[in-house]
Amino acid sequence: MPVTSAVVVGAGIAGLSTALSLAHHGIHADILEQAPQLGEVGAGLQLSPNASRVLQALGVLQDIEAHWRRPDYINLASGLSLKTLAAVPAGSFAENRWGAPYGVLHRSTLQQSLLSVVLKNPLIRLHLGTRIEDAGRKQLAELVGHSPDVVIGADGVWSRTRIMIPGAPEVSFSGNVAWRFTLPAKGGPGFLDPANVTAYLGPNCHLVAYPLREISGYNIVAISAGVSPGETWSATGTEAQKALLARAFAGWHPSLQSMIASAPALNYWPLFQAGPGQWHGGGDTVLVGDAAHAMMPFSAQGAAMAIEDGFDLAALLAHHPLQTALDRYQSLRQARAARVRQRGAFNKFVYHARGPIRMGRDLVLALRPPQSLASDLDWLYGYRAGEQV
């Protein structure tokens, strides 16, 4: 029989959206979170139509739309000259083509919007300050007061749930870090686009900038080679590490170099990625989000993949016996994640190109019309989670 109850480990974007997806199908969910309260994590993120479509179905998008910005374009520009190389249309084009909007927002806005809907849902219970030492049946039953049909690990790249699954993916440092900072719009660099997403491309690194309505400013993410500080979501850059970042962007346009050098505070995230492995072990435990498939952010799909995971998994659990649902989920989502990962690897090659390859890239991008670039994303942004059951 299809499941009727679940325990979700982790109350980040993956855990909250998965619990809402389960409740959408009438499945009770207990969310276990070790933090005593849910605070602000990270900075900005991009929500593409494949994710916003799910959030609309879950009753979350309406609240988000009061806070986010909907860019008209996602621009690709040269980090050496600031010249726009190509533009993928978003705005009303995205909604018409892919059936849902594209927006940029602060990560905490998404988390708080999800949390607000979770707290109103009678099928969901949130347990804060609850640390899971293992995902054993006895401990979970004691924590939630019953034995759930399925345990869902949504506890991120350093998942504790993952170690309970034989043959689960292992994570490793990618050799890259994401430097993050924000700038106020007032008095900020004049070359930044106040309405759109812009990815500045350069040799061996790139930088993404877009406006955040919540802070009346810009979110900046610079990705380059770096050294991992260990298992942490965010670390403050030392002077030596800041010097490493400056060297990575040497030769870029002076305005971009000046912006990086004068950033008021630089934090960085080590970028870890998950290898191949099992997302469920034939029992009753399964992984979603970064716990299953942490990947490089070159397609801006980290949050979207987690949201899709939960919605697909919930639909399968509602319509199939547990083992059939988990097998189908793993097959479906591993194929999807692999394709997104491949697209990210291609984007990295294109974004970080140098020498003759860079010149060829610029020429090809200049020759392609915006709608042609958009068509390359139909498989990604047009995906309809929950319809694959």
Q: Which residues does 190 contact at the CB level (< 8 Å), separation at least 6?
A: none
Is 210 designated active site? Answer: yes
Q: Report residue 252 as tokens.
A: 């870029």
Q: Give how far Cα 74 sits from Cα of 48, 89, 199, 300, Å.
A: 11, 6, 8, 12
C-alpha angle with apex 271: 163 to 106, nearest 5 degrees?
Answer: 105
How many CA within 13 A on the CB side of residue 92? 0
Looking at 73, 102, 210, 218, which residue is catalytic?
A: 210
Region at 189 (left for phi over 0; alpha for psi -120 to 50; beta for the rest): beta
Give me the DSSP letters along 239-261: HHHHHHHHHHTTTS-HHHHHHHH
- At 9, the amino acid letter reads V
Q: How far apart are CA 162 and CA 166, in angstroms?
A: 9
Q: For residue 358, give the DSSP letter.
A: H
Q: How far apart are CA 287 and CA 47, in angstroms?
A: 22
Phi, psi of 298 (to 5 degrees): -75, -5
Q: Give how far Cα 295 sits from Cα of 165, 172, 283, 285, 333, Å.
A: 20, 10, 25, 21, 14
Region at 156 (left for phi over 0; alpha for psi -120 to 50; beta for the rest): left
Residue with tokens 């979970």: 140
Find, among 98, 294, 1, 179, the residue nearest to 88 by Cα.
98
Q: How far apart are CA 240 and CA 231, in angstroms?
A: 20
Residues noted as catalytic:
210
